[in-house]
Structure 1
Amino acid sequence: MRRKIFAVLVAAHNEEQVIGALVENLKNLDYPKELYDIFVICDNCTDRTAEIVRSYGVRACVRNNRKLRGKGYAIEWMLKELWKMPRQYDAVVMFDADNLVNPDFLRHMNNDLCEGHKVIQGYLDTKNPGDSWVTASYGITYWYCNRLWQLSRKNLNMSNFLGGTGMCFDAGLLKEMGWGATSLVEDLEFSMRCVQRGVYPVLNYDAKVYDEKPVTFKASARQRLRWMQGHFTVARHYFFPLLWASLKERNFVKFDAALYSISVYNTLLGLIGTLVLWIDYIIPKDDKLVSIYAYLPWWVPGVAIFCTVAMFPLVMMLEGVKSWKMYASLVPMVLFQLSWLPITFYAFFTQNNKQWSHTKHTRVIRLEEVQSKQV
């Protein structure tokens, strides 16, 4: 099997506290060192990020553009710089500065590329699930998405969706398409662009990336607000084109992607419908609005609620989670999940906000620590 040559890109904005651990990690991947180069995009940095990167003998690519800020713009700029370089790369891999990566990551990407896949998403995990009930909620959500959402889609030959890091792209495809994903959710936007072209991202369940998650609820809410604002933008731009293409081509994968692009509206409408019913119930009057649940046998919503609750501990068992503290985190996780409702509601009215909000990363953890503390 041929071994591909990789350009490994790391997007960084003021990441002096965590960038060293990732660069050290990437330099020790289980892949021939002469077959991959590491480039750290020091995007509008005002700290020592570039200096630390250079101290490891890695290229720090400094970008200063105060008008076009954000990860999507940084990647677009870096790719243009990459194509000008004398060395030609077969594929491009992208990580965030706060990540850690399993040593075999590039070997898994190489295998998938050799099998003909053009866009590959690794398994996203958290490196700090035990820091707080917020990070535990993120961790459980990631395990759920990997096992019951991403893996299920792969098994059904559906398109997977990119997760913002741990992504691999065929260089030829990137040159042909261009990046062009500069919204607040550049990963989802590029996923939709791929599906439009009939290129379906695929999950590699064995290629693991560990992402740092916000410890506090406030920081988490700010991050998720940005995600939802960007999701509304993607819905506006891609739902109707994908829907029309799916009907015209009788393509179920594109139809599925169209539905996912507007899933953010499901959350919004669910919140509005629930509020309407509760307000109507509280206000005293003779004629009340009647919920659809009033016409269902009691056990139907009961089964639905049970399945919704049971799937999270089920996923944790399937993923081999043994820590009782993580299972106990399922209780406050209810608050985490419910908080998506007001966040999505606020995002709808602020969706035109294009300002990138940086999530500060502070957890200096080595890969050995993460692996030794597997929950």
Structure 2
Amino acid sequence: MEAVYYSLLLLSSLLLIPVTVIFIQVLLAVVYKKESTKYSYTIDADYTACILIPAHDEEVGLTRTIRSVKPYLSKNHYILVVADNCSDNTSSIAIENLVETIERTDATLKGKCYALEYGFQYLKDKNPDVVVVIDADCELTTEGLDSLVTLCAKEQRPVQCLDLMLAKADASVKTKISAFAWLLKNHIRPLGSSVLKMPCQLMGTGMAIPWSLAQKLNFANGSIVEDLTLGLDCAQLGKPPIFYPFPTVTSYFSNNSEVGITQKSRWEHGHLQVIMTVLPKMLIKSIKLKDIKSIFMIVDAAIPPLALLSMVLALLTMINIMLALHGYLLLGVLSSITVSMFVTSIHLSWYFFGRNTISLKELCVVPKYILGKMPLYLRFLTNKQLSWIKTKRD
């Protein structure tokens, strides 16, 4: 029994780490929410920037994406579309919108990471100061592109702007919960980290990369979560990403449940694979170098998807409470602290940031939503998704 007790004590202590990180991030984001103007940056229009749009069969939404970007371009900004392995009219639509377009065809190497590599290789002759990646299913919805470019060029570090994935007006409660989880992961947590001057993860779209750093990166890493891997690679090179909540890039969750499952499988299976195979080695290296920002970024990346974290926390709490009733009080105390911080984090996130995304009544469906995701995590053990699959568009 003693072995079981100490094993549960260790597991409970380890689980306290990600929950504490989330709690601190949320608390700081709430405290500094009203001071977001402090992130404003003096604009220098002399920096050249390429807005790189990787596009695979995006004829439906590409025009909307290009037109959302054009009003915010400064005199030294231009758009480059990489029509990657397209079987539709993506390339011709890009040309019709009067933007520079290149085509890539490779039946073997498929995925966004290879399209990015192709685009950056093409840009070698142009040498822009900054490259801003915006996905072809996203829209630039607020001002701030020029300040994003300026910050990236001056700091010579990657800069991630606010990337939000929204639920449509007629979305299901499950989709709204996904949108709330996205808000917590992509807005609230990195905002809290930025208060501590700590880095954030790269999110794949709305990310600005200085040209000097881009030439040291391997974009064709073959990862299905290329954004997460890319950000960690930047940190290992001593250039951890900066979170800058201007401008805002938005896209929408699909109302097709089958598409949503495929999308979440790619994101979450890829994330878990990185946690298990990549992060331990990076953490050891960063600890040896005493690189605090890199260590923080790795710990932040090691936080599992919210639904999985909730499942583990609920199961462990039930076990610990039962044992606490038989005299193992420390287990009960640890679980009580962890659950309290976790629930408080969710409530504060919803109250200060998420009320326009989901109602309190709908938020109460979260336990059912979490149980519904159990097959997704079981598939990680039996049939994990390791290949890139394009998300179908509505």
What TM-score bracket applies, with the shorter chain setting the length? 0.7 to 0.9
- Tell me the TM-score normalized by structure 2: 0.77
**1:14 counterpart residue number:** 57
Q: Helix, strand or coil for the counterpart of 2:81?
A: strand
CA contact (8 A) 1:134 1:217 kept: no
Deviation sequence 1:317-358 (CA, Å, 0-9, x none): 3237457x644331334433444443233124334x532111
The CA deviation at 1:54 is 1.4
**1:165 counterpart residue number:** 205
| 1:359 corresponds to 2:383 | no
**2:348 counterpart residue number:** 314
| 1:350 corresponds to 2:393 | no
| 1:125 corresponds to 2:164 | yes
**2:369 counterpart residue number:** 336
| Alignment root-mean-square deviation, CA | 3.3
Change (3 A) 1:299 1:256: closer
**1:46 counterpart residue number:** 87
Q: Helix, strand or coil for the counterpart of 1:28?
A: helix
Further displaced range: 332-341 or 35-44: 332-341
**1:73 counterpart residue number:** 114
The CA deviation at 1:205 is 1.6
Change (3 A) 1:158 1:291: farther
Change (3 A) 1:238 1:358: same
**2:96 counterpart residue number:** 55
Q: What does 1:116-265 correspond to in 2, within 5 Å?
A: 116-132=155-171, 133-264=173-304
Identity %: 22
Q: Helix, strand or coil for the counterpart of 1:168?
A: strand
Change (3 A) 1:108 1:320: farther
CA contact (8 A) 2:50 2:79 kept: yes
Deviation sequence 1:16-67 (CA, Å, 0-9, x none): 21111111111111x42x3111112211111122222111111232211111
Deviation sequence 1:102-148 (CA, Å, 0-9, x none): 34231231231254141011112134443312331232112222454
**1:369 counterpart residue number:** none
Letter of the 2:292 counterpart:
F
**2:139 counterpart residue number:** 100
The CA deviation at 1:218 is 2.7
CA contact (8 A) 1:121 1:168 kept: yes
Further displaced range: 38-47 or 244-253: 244-253
Further displaced range: 301-310 or 291-300: 291-300
| 1:64 corresponds to 2:105 | yes
**Which runs of 5 or more structure 1 residues have no equivalent in the other structure?**
282-288, 363-375
Q: How many residues align?
A: 348
Change (3 A) 1:189 1:268: same
Change (3 A) 1:218 1:356: same
Letter of the 1:53 counterpart:
A
The CA deviation at 1:80 is 0.9
CA contact (8 A) 2:263 2:391 kept: yes
The CA deviation at 1:198 is 1.6
> What is the alpha-carbon distance in structure 1 between the residues aligned to residue 250 and residue 306 of structure 2?
29
Change (3 A) 1:272 1:26: closer
Q: Helix, strand or coil for the counterpart of 1:125?
A: strand
Further displaced range: 251-260 or 203-212: 251-260
Q: What does 1:21-40 correspond to in 2, within 5 Å?
A: 21-29=64-72, 31-32=73-74, 34-40=75-81
> What is the alpha-carbon distance in structure 2 between the residues aligned to residue 265 and residue 19 of structure 1?
30
- Tell me the TM-score normalized by structure 1: 0.81
Identify which of 44, 47, 51 aligns with 1:2.
Answer: 44
CA contact (8 A) 1:7 1:36 kept: yes
Change (3 A) 1:59 1:228: same
Deviation sequence 1:160-182 (CA, Å, 0-9, x none): 10112111100111013342433
Q: Helix, strand or coil for the counterpart of 2:245?
A: strand
